[in-house]
Structure 1
Amino acid sequence: MNVKVMGWILTLAVGVNAQHVPNQYEDGSADAYTDYEGNAVVPRIEERNGKRYYYWPHWDAWKNGKMQVQGERTQHPDAQWWPHAGLGLFICWGMPSVFEPNGEGWAGRWTQAKEDAGKFYPQAELWASTKGWNPEHYDPEKWMEAARKAGFQYSVLTLKHHGGYAMWDSDYSVYGVRQEMGGRDLVAPWVKACRNNGIKVGFYYSGMDWYFERDFMDFSMQAGTHVNWKGEKVKSLPKRPPSFKLAYDEFNQNSVKEVIEKFDPDLWWGDGGHGATADQIREWRPGIVCNNRGEGGDHATAEMFRMAQPQYVKNPVVANGWWWEENSIIQQGSWHYDKHLGEEVYPADRVLLELARCRCMGGNFLANIGPRPDGRMQDDAYRLFAEMAEWMETNSNSVFGINGGGPWPEKCNVPITCNDRTWYFHARKQDATKADPVVLQDCETKPVSVILMRTGDGISFEYKNNVLTFSIPEKLKARNVTDVVKVEFGNDFDPEPYRFRHW
């Protein structure tokens, strides 16, 4: 890893760029898009080499980089599955899941606001929480069988979050299952379960390791205050010795290579760096897909619903020809399990509509659920999976096998996915009603048919002055899942303008 990349990783780790503490929201929440007074912040646009890049002035370089792809993506034939996969299951499970106060991996990073709110905990307490961790009910086969039926095509598991706990039995780890769980490998059974269910294997790996650099790292995220890993405010911290960078690089690169050789993943999902360069990773595993959060990568990673809004995605991300993916929490609490909130998983209607929005813009949806520390997935997660599985039986063609997206939100009030002259309109339970019908402006030709996919019933529609309007009768609405209406156009309709150019 070069000096420049390691520099920005360490900069993030020590909190140098955290001057604007109230807006340092890494989760893409609403506050990340406003100034201190709550006014919307308009990003500036820079043009370089024929591509456009958004920059939010109050975001650091790291966060702005989530929506940017540097360099050219892989052309390896084994990697071209990715934009067609559509739906991934993010599984954040590890040391933060065990930390009972809140399950938050950033709880040990100090700010005055966190301390005042009672949400700061010394990092030492998070590390101590893994003593005696025993996920006695861990059953990844059950997880992934349910995920397969729900339509998930790939999955990403946390190998190691920023706190440094290695979930696989590693020869190089300094903190993880080898040291704390007698070498019990939590990754291998999950990989086997994915393979058994035909699900592509992806790994989340943090290029930052707060445990490895704990003696030198500032755990404060607020300028002017220094905090050590014990949670103590100190005047200064020891300087990293000249040998530190070389040791850190070797540790990361050895860990990454070990995992790739042991598990042969399809997808590398770095965060705070890949741990090695994308070029190195591709040498070790040709055909792998890498995200954009390290040196090199193949796709942008919009974080949470807000960052994946069409005004941020369509131009410049899609217009630049980039693959992209939204990664979002679909449970209450944080990315990892929070025992106070994490039992509640989002309604299927909300999850499926977000999938449709992503697919409408040619992106993937990587939906995150953090399992309980004992290894069980929440009951409510299985409720969601079952509802999604039922939806997939009649509606899967609206998100898989497509090749384009309709003009949402510019000319239609619901997201549209396309397969040539077949268009799929996705409506929540409050959409496509008599009072609030689906309206498509500038519709070039009259449809041949309009059908509710779940039931096969024909839907009445109006086509007048190039405006298509229809609603779903109340008695036919699904209510708990997103309804999909299939609209077929005849041979006089030109699908070319709506086909994806970035796949």
Structure 2
Amino acid sequence: MEYSAGKISQPGHRRIASRAASSFNSNFQNLGRALVAGLLIFLSAGLVAVKAEANSAPANRLDWFREARFGLFIHWGVYSQIGREEWARELLQIPWAEYQKYARSFNPVNYNPREWVRLAREAGVRYIVITSKHHDGFCLYDSAFTENDSLGARIKRDLIGELVQACREQGLPIGFYYSIMDWYHPDYLPRRGWEKDRPAGGADFRRYVSYMKSQLQELVLKYQPAILWFDGEWEHKNEDYDAVGIGQMLRQLKPDIIINDRLFNRAPGLGDFGTPENYVPATGWRNEDGSLRLWEVCMTMNFNGWGYNHFETEFRNGPQLIRQLIEIASKGGNFLLNIGPRPDGTIQPEFVERLKQIGAWLKVNGEAIYGSEPSVFEKLPFFGRCTVRGNRLYVHIMGWPQDKRIVLPGLKNKVQRAFLLASGQKLEYSRKGNDLVIRLPEEPLDRVATVAVIEVEGRPQAEPYRIRAGTDGRLELPVSLAEIKSQMGQRAYLDYFYRTTMLTNWQNVNDFPEWEFELSRGGKFEVLASYAWQWGGKSGFVVEVDDRAVLRGESEPSPSIYFPASHSLGRVELTAGKHVLRFKITSIANNNALKLEKVVLRPVAGSQ
């Protein structure tokens, strides 16, 4: 490709009203102006109506999104042919001209959008978000602003348009992912550091912003998406690409459109919802004042990339995904679960199997997820979560307790009845102080998560929960009472191992449990950790109290990889009052750290 300031010379940049004009060559700026004029004439009646409503966006426009709780993310494009995920061009440093061969040869002959939507419906999904344009700049739709799209590829079909039609036929809202970053467009800056065949001389980022605005107008006017899901913003500041102006333009075009926070560089309070990626925030997504905001976890089903990875061997299992959906809903968020279809347009069996597992669970228990509100309990003293709808508490029990009882701490409301959601079986209950004790049957209905429903008088309320020592001064900190802190790339999660709950799949040093507790008396304590470890080698760990490392150690073997043993780590001296304890991994042996059951603080005789 050759270009000078404002001029592009490459095949077919692009028709305005017809494919017959494919030999037309001009610069993006002039073409964009002509196309926008054509679009506005063609859609003038609808656009005038939209502008009239621009300043009166529906007050309830976010309600459907808040109630949906579960969405399907689809990362698909020419990179699927390479089979090394969506960042393939960057990761493999593929030259521009060479990558365009994949763009022209893209031919997903087995793509069946109605089948995709049918699978999404079977999975219990309530909306879809698909990549309209990823970082490589290739568009899955018929764009009048570039030849680098699905109509310019071998398939010569409007892949997005067909999916939009299938979604509307089956009553499923659809949104579009759109990358601000663009490795194809000659005016996008900066270039990749390794690119030698694309000098930046003559590039004008302002022209790229005009191109981006034109494409966004095109997407909204042509397909009327429910969501615009931005990404790839981190190379620029908001003012560089007129983020606020773009947001205003989109609202004028479609007053009820929902826009994520990445258009605005994920700045707190901007955008309609926050987007934590590949991890679940410990206490949900918060505004600067601490209040809960609308948020959505986007997460891959596999561990290595968002787009199709032919060489992938690691996948989150069905039970783990169901429990993550429950956890996210219990904290007031949505779960946007990703798949990366294959280059022929089919979806690999690992994804299909897991989606159907989730759908089967939701078919029985969906009432506890869709339209639910966050838990009223700060903590639950067992492996489980709680969601709320109206005067109903939905208690998701993920580990069946040995004594067949669960305790709901500090529930203020009078109970009307309790029963299992799946069967309607009545449950006995009683009060113990401020707590509600529920008696369970001998066996769970579903070992992944059995849902008990507690109907109460009025809106459910609960007293704040505090972790405190027993009368003997001993303090137990089970992982089920911890907040699991993480960053992008969370691997660790809780699981139930016959008798007990442990933190497992601990492969990332950025994942760690954290407990906030209160001591009525200070003194010296022996610190014990109960964990399972039998992988060979040793994993290092550190115990921090109030942001200070107090003990370090290495893993010791237990009876089995599923059966924990208790180990003394040393002693600490703590004052009376509130403290925060963290158990962190510092090194990992054999790609897996220990399985942690609990940390115990045992008072040293005579020190209190």
TM-score, length of structure 1 as denominator length: 0.70
Seen in structure 2, the aligned counterparts of structure 1 residues 214 and 279 have a Cα distance that, compared at 3 Å, is closer
Match of 2:353 in 1: 383
Q: Which has the higher contact order (CA 8 A, sep 6+)?
A: 1
Residue of structure 2 in register with 1:170 after alignment: 143
Structure 2 residue 302 is the aligned partner of structure 1 residue 302: no
Q: Paired residue for 1:373?
A: 343
CA distance in structure 2 between the partners assigned to 1:478 and 1:497 by the alignment: 27
Alignment of 1:26-425 (within 5 A): 76-100=59-83, 102-103=84-85, 105-109=86-90, 120-124=92-96, 126-181=99-154, 183-213=156-186, 217-220=190-193, 227-228=194-195, 238-241=199-202, 244-273=204-233, 277-295=246-264, 297-305=271-279, 308-311=280-283, 313=284, 315-316=286-287, 319-341=290-312, 346-409=316-379, 413-425=383-395
Q: 1:89 to 1:462 in 2, by over 3 A?
A: same
Q: Is the 8 A contact 2:376 2:460 kept in 1?
A: no
Cα-to-partner distance string for 1:95-134 (whole Å, 9 max, x where unaligned): 222222x22x33444xxxxxxxxx6443545544344221
Structure 2 residue corresponding to 1:476, chosen from 438, 444, 452: 444
- Identify the residue that residue 460 of structure 2 maps to in structure 1: 495
d(CA) in 2 for partners of 1:436 and 1:219?
A: 59
Q: Distance in 2 between matches of 1:419 and 1:79?
A: 18
Change (3 A) 1:333 1:474: farther
Question: Do the aligned partners of 2:176 and 2:228 also contact (CA within 8 Å) in 1?
Answer: yes
Return the index of the structure with the highest Cα Rg.
2
Q: CA deviation at 1:244?
A: 1.0
Q: Residue 433 and residue 318 in structure 1: after superposition, are their counterparts in 2 closer, same or farther (change >3 A)?
A: farther
Between stretches 448-457 and 183-192, larger displacement belongs to 448-457
SS state at 1:177 partner: coil
Change (3 A) 1:88 1:456: same
Distance, in Å, in 2 between the alignment partners of 1:74 and 1:322 is 19
Verify the 8 A CA contact 2:183 2:191 in the aligned structure 1: no
Contact 1:208 1:272 in 2 (8 A): yes
Give the C-alpha shift of residue 248 in structure 1.
0.3
Q: Distance in 2 between matches of 1:283 and 1:456?
A: 49
Aligned Cα RMSD in Å?
3.1
More helix by share: 1
Q: Are the aligned partners of 2:391 and 2:459 in contact in 1 as well (CA < 8 Å)?
A: yes
Identity of aligned residues (%): 27
1:316 deviates by 4.0
Post-superposition Cα deviations, 1:65-109, rounded to whole Å, max 9, x if no partner, equal xxxxxxxx9654444322112111111111222222x22x33444
What is the distance in 1 between the residues matched to 2:183 and 2:332?
36
Q: Distance in 2 between matches of 1:121 and 1:289?
A: 35
Deviation at 1:269, TM superposition (A): 0.5
Tell me by how many angstroms 1:415 deviates. Answer: 1.8
Return the offset for 1:471.
6.8
**Cα separation, 2, equivalents of 1:205 and 1:173:** 15
1:455, CA displacement in angstroms?
2.3
Which blocks of at least 5 consecutive residues in structure 2 are unaligned? 1-55, 234-240, 265-269, 464-608
Question: Structure 1 residues 215 and 487 mapped into 2: Cα distance closer, same or farther (>3 Å)?
Answer: closer
Give the CA deviation at 1:329: 0.8
* In structure 1, C-alpha distance between the alignment counterparts of 2:415 and 2:189, rounded to whole Å: 65
Task: Tell me the SS of whatever aligns to 2:151.
Answer: helix
1:189 deviates by 1.1
Which range moved further: 287-296 or 462-471?
462-471
Quick one: distance in 2 between partners of 1:86 and 1:353?
13
Mapped partners of 2:212, 2:417: distance in 1: 56
Structure 1 residue 435: Cα displacement:
6.4
Q: Is the contact made by 1:399 and 1:417 (CA closer than 8 Å) also made in structure 2?
A: yes
Deviation at 1:327, TM superposition (A): 0.8
Tell me the CA shift for residue 298 of structure 1. Answer: 0.9
Q: Does 1:485 align with 2:445?
A: no
More strand per residue: 2
Is the alpha carbon distance of 1:322 and 1:378 closer, same or farther for their aligned partners in structure 2, counting shifts above 3 Å?
same
Deviation per CA, 1:205-227: give whole Å up to 9, x if none. 0011111148964424xxxxxx1
> What is the DSSP-based 3-state SS (H/G/I as helix, E as strand, rest coil) of the residue aligned with 1:90?
strand
Query: 2 CA distance for matches of 1:382 and 1:183?
Result: 27
